Structure 1
Amino acid sequence: MNTYFAICPRGLEELLADELRGVGGSDVRPVAGGVFFEGEWETCYRANLESRIATRILWHIVKGPYAKEEDIYRLAVRQLWPNHFAVSCTMRVVTTAIKCPLKSLDYVTLRVKDAVCDRFRDDLGERPNIDTRNPDVSVHVFLTENECTLYLDTSGQPLWQRGFRKASVEAPLKENLAAGILKLSGWQPGQALVDPMCGSGTFLLEAVQVALDRAPGLDRTFAFERLKSFRALAWADIRSAAEARVKPAEAMPIYGYDRDEHAVRASRRNLQQAGFGNVVQVDRSDLLDLDAPASTGIMLTNPPYGERIGEQEELAAFYPELGSVLKRRWAGWQCFFFTADLRLPKLVGLKPSRKTPLFNGPLECRLFEIRMVAGSNRSKPVVEG
Structure 2
Amino acid sequence: MEHFFATCPRGLETLLAEDLAAANAQDIRNVPGGVHFAGDWVCCYAANLHSRIATRILWRVAEGPYAREDDIYRLAYDTPWSRWFGAAQTLRVDVTAIKSPLKSLEFITLRIKDAVCDRFRADSGQRPSVDTRTPDVRVQAFITAERCTLYIDTSGAPLYQRGLRQKTVEAPLKENLAAGILRLTGWQPGTPLLDPMCGSGTFLVEAAQMALGIAPGSGGRSFGFQRLKNFRLETWKNLLDAAQDAEKPAKPMQIYGSDISPVSVRAALANLDRAGLLPAVSLSSGDIREIAAPAASGVLVANPPYGERLSEQEELAAFYPELGSALKRNFAGWTCHLLTADLRLPKLMRLTPSKKTPLFNGAIECRLFEFRMVAGSNRK
Bin of the TM-score, shorter chain as denominator length: over 0.9
- Corresponding position: 1:354 with 2:355: yes
**Map of 2:181 onto structure 1:** 181
Deviation of 1:377 (Å): 5.2
For the 8 Å contact 1:328–1:377, the answer to whether it is kept is no
- Say whether 1:255 aligns with 2:274: no
TM-superposed deviation, 1:310:
1.1
Deviation of 1:75 after TM superposition, in Å, equals 0.6
Task: Describe the SS at the equivalent of 2:101.
Answer: coil
Which SS does the other structure have where 2:6 is aligned?
A: strand
Q: Is the 8 A contact 2:328 2:376 kept in 1?
A: no
**Deviation of 1:136 (Å):** 0.4
Query: Does structure 2 conserve the Cα–Cα contact (< 8 Å) formed by 1:53 and 1:179?
Result: yes
1:1-385 matches, within 5 Å, as 1-219=1-219, 220-373=221-374, 375-376=375-376
Which letter does structure 1 place at the counterpart of 2:22?
G
In structure 2, C-alpha distance between the alignment counterparts of 1:46 and 1:232, rounded to whole Å:
13
SS at match of 1:241: helix
Report the secondary structure of 2:93's partner residue.
strand
**Aligned AA for 1:240?**
D
Instruction: Write the distance in 2 (CA, Å) between the matches of 1:170 and 1:328.
Output: 29
Give the corresponding residue for 1:381: none
Give the whole-Å Cα distance in 2 for the aligned partners of 1:88 and 1:49. 27
Higher mean alpha-carbon deviation, 316-325 vs 196-205, is at 316-325
TM-score by length of 2: 0.98
Is the partner of 2:242 in helix, strand or coil? helix
Measured in 2, the distance between the counterparts of 1:287 and 1:272 equals 24
* Distance (whole Å) between structure 1 residues aligned to residue 105 and residue 326 of structure 2: 51
SS at match of 2:218: coil
Question: Does structure 2 retain, via aligned residues, the 8 Å contact 1:209–1:216?
Answer: yes
Q: Please say if residues 256 and 281 of structure 1, whose CA atoms lie closer than 8 Å, have aligned partners that are also in contact.
A: yes
* Contact 2:301–2:336, Cα closer than 8 Å, also in 1: yes
Q: What percent of counterpart residues are identical?
A: 60
Cα distance in 2 for residues equivalent to 1:266 and 1:52: 22
Aligned residues: 377
Match of 1:149, SS state, is strand
8 Å Cα contact 1:136/1:226 also seen in 2: yes
Q: Which residue of 2 is the match for residue 382 of structure 1?
A: none
- 1:376 deviates by 4.0
- State the distance in 2 between where 1:306 and 1:123 align: 55
- d(CA) in 1 for partners of 2:236, 2:143: 32
- Match of 1:134, SS state, is coil
Secondary structure (helix, strand or coil) at the match of 1:139 reads strand
Once the two structures are superposed, residues 285-336 of structure 1 have per-residue CA deviations (whole angstroms, 9 ceiling, x without a partner) of: 0000111110010000000011111111111111111111111110000000
CA contact (8 A) 1:94 1:109 kept: yes
Report the AA paired with residue 173 of structure 1: L
Pairwise CA distance, 1:55: 0.4
Post-superposition offset of 1:146: 1.3
Q: Which residue of 2 aligns with 1:383?
A: none
CA contact (8 A) 1:331 1:377 kept: no
SS at the partner of 1:75?
helix
Q: Unmatched 5+ residue regions in structure 1?
A: 379-385
Q: What's the CA shift string for 1:334-357, capped at 9, x where partnerless?
A: 000000000111111111000000
Contact persistence 1:121–1:127 (CA under 8 A)? yes
Structure 2 counterpart of 1:251, one-letter code: P
Contact 2:212 2:250 in 1 (8 A): yes
Residue identity in the other structure for 1:70: D
In 1, distance between residues paired with 2:200 and 2:42? 34
**In structure 1, what residue type is equivalent to 2:243?**
A
Q: Distance in 2 between matches of 1:335 and 1:296?
A: 10
Matched residue SS, 1:357: strand
User: What amino acid is aligned across from residue 302 of structure 1 in structure 2?
Assistant: N
RMSD: 0.9
8 Å Cα contact 1:137/1:152 also seen in 2: yes
